[in-house]
Structure 1
Amino acid sequence: MMTGMNTEVCDPAELAALREIFASRPEALPPIGSDAVRSFEAEHGIVLPEPYRTFVAEVCDGLRAGPPSYGLLPLAQTPPDWGSGRPERLLAEPFPLTEAWLWEMEDDETALSEQEFEDRTAPVYDHGSLLLGTDGCGMYWHLIVTGPQRGHVWLIDENGAIPFGTRPGTCLMPGTPGFSGWVTHWAQDRSWFAEA
């Protein structure tokens, strides 16, 4: 399990780095303010992890162009391709994973029926996370807001769920974990995935 992030107090250096990255982007949406953040948290029974919490309140509530490819979503929005018939997103329910799960790699002996697969993966998509955006083709970036992975960013798509930012050589997506690390990685125009 990944640890070491402080999701309770906003690090001034992280916030300064985020401000610098977004200051030069005319496509950045204005921040929503602390009252709107507190209202959202009360409505959903959560406290957003830092530095994302301060970021949306004071710096920016979305970006029309990257990160990810189709823009950073405003707080609590879903991308157009998310679909309207999906189950309700339950932010207060803990995100169920603590390590990558590549369901496409499971062999036929452990394969689940379609209903079992849907029952098992639905919480991965809908519990304890905010959607940050999409890279298209069903690739969704989630900020985990509840559970042991709180504060981490995960990529969830048709192939599996992978955390961003773990030790190099041990994960498909090495980098600095958390929202700030994810944004910085994007701003440096680096590949999300480890080189083979």
Structure 2
Amino acid sequence: MGGVWAGVRERVLALRAAPNRRAVFGAYFKECGHGFALRPVLTEEQVEAVERRRGVTFPAEYRAFLLEVGAGGAGPDYGLFPVDPGEDAAPSGTDADADADTDADTDADIDTAPPLFRPERTAEWEEHQSAEPQRSAYGDTAGEAARFRADHAAWDARDDELLAALTDGALYVSEQGCAYYTLLALTGPERGTMWHDARAAAEGVIPVELAGSAERVTFAQWYVHWLTIAERRAWEEPARKEAGA
């Protein structure tokens, strides 16, 4: 074990004893808190099994994380979704599970090439949104009302297609809450970079950015940035209550 992940598992687990650990967002929140726990690491054979089912090789940083740090658990926001050799990355019952067809594992290996992650689809979806048929543009006759309904149904079907396609070629890695998720691009020119699934706010898919930088953020940068801030917060002594409070 070495490189960017050297000592990271130990640093994360040590936070379970930090005096101000509960001040770290997402660590202790009802049943959603990760509690700074990490799942066991995967073996090379287990990672390969997951990759075969998904029909893709994971980006190097994420792959090494599974092998050296853990297969899910503590991480940004409410933590990382678990990765099991025979299960989906996102827990069943979430919106991510329903929306991300590329995240579904099957018992058979996938022979077809995985779809490309294309964030430019967000612009295409936004353009489509602006072209929604308006009833006021149609006449008052029954025929015009029927034409509007047909046009709007076709527009709505295409809108659903475009919206679902925004996350093709990406892996859901964590939940931010309120139907927001974080994605890791698995394919295409943006492979290995992190993205926000902000469809809940009608913003499509947008890149993760770190303060002071407009550069694309990789999985390791995203995770280590979170850990550095979490350590700073968790190891602070809890603020003392004022006398009589």
TM over 0.5: yes
Matched, 1:51 2:61: yes
Question: Given the superposition, is the C-alpha separation of residues 28 and 61 from structure 1 closer, same or farther in structure 2, using an over 3 Å criterion?
Answer: same
User: In structure 2, what residue type is equivalent to 1:93?
Assistant: P
Question: Aligned ranges for residues 106-117 of structure 1 at < 5 Å?
Answer: 109-111=130-132, 113-117=155-159
Q: Residues 56-102 of structure 1, C-alpha deviation per residue, up to 9 Å, x if partnerless? A: 02221111x431x2221112421442266546326821112259759
Higher helix fraction (1 or 2): 2
Please tell me whether the aligned partners of residues 100 and 163 of structure 1 are also in contact (alpha carbons under 8 angstroms): no
Question: Given the superposition, is the C-alpha separation of residues 150 and 21 from structure 1 closer, same or farther in structure 2, using an over 3 Å criterion?
Answer: farther
User: In structure 2, what residue type is equivalent to 1:97?
Assistant: P
Matched, 1:181 2:221: yes
Q: Which runs of 5+ in 1 are unaligned?
A: 1-9, 191-196
Aligned to 2:204: 160
Question: Share of identical aligned residues, percent?
Answer: 27
Aligned to 2:81: 73
Question: Aligned ranges for residues 20-59 of structure 1 at < 5 Å?
Answer: 21-25=11-15, 26-59=36-69
Aligned to 1:94: 116
Aligned to 1:16: 6
**In 1, distance between residues paired with 2:157 and 2:197?**
19
Provide the aligned C-alpha RMSD in A.
3.3
Largest Rg, 1 or 2? 2
Question: Given the superposition, is the C-alpha separation of residues 77 and 87 from structure 1 closer, same or farther in structure 2, using an over 3 Å criterion?
Answer: closer
User: In structure 2, what residue type is equivalent to 1:136?
Assistant: G
Question: Given the superposition, is the C-alpha separation of residues 184 and 175 from structure 1 closer, same or farther in structure 2, using an over 3 Å criterion?
Answer: farther
SS for the counterpart of 1:131 is strand
Aligned to 2:163: 121
Q: Give the C-alpha shift of residue 30 in structure 1.
A: 0.8
Please tell me whether the aligned partners of residues 72 and 82 of structure 2 are also in contact (alpha carbons under 8 angstroms): yes
Please tell me whether the aligned partners of residues 42 and 71 of structure 2 are also in contact (alpha carbons under 8 angstroms): yes
**In 2, distance between residues paired with 1:117 and 1:17?**
46
**In 2, distance between residues paired with 1:165 and 1:97?**
15
Q: TM-score, normalised by structure 2?
A: 0.58
Q: TM-score, normalised by structure 1?
A: 0.71
| Number of positions where the alignment pairs a residue of Structure 1 with one of Structure 2 | 172
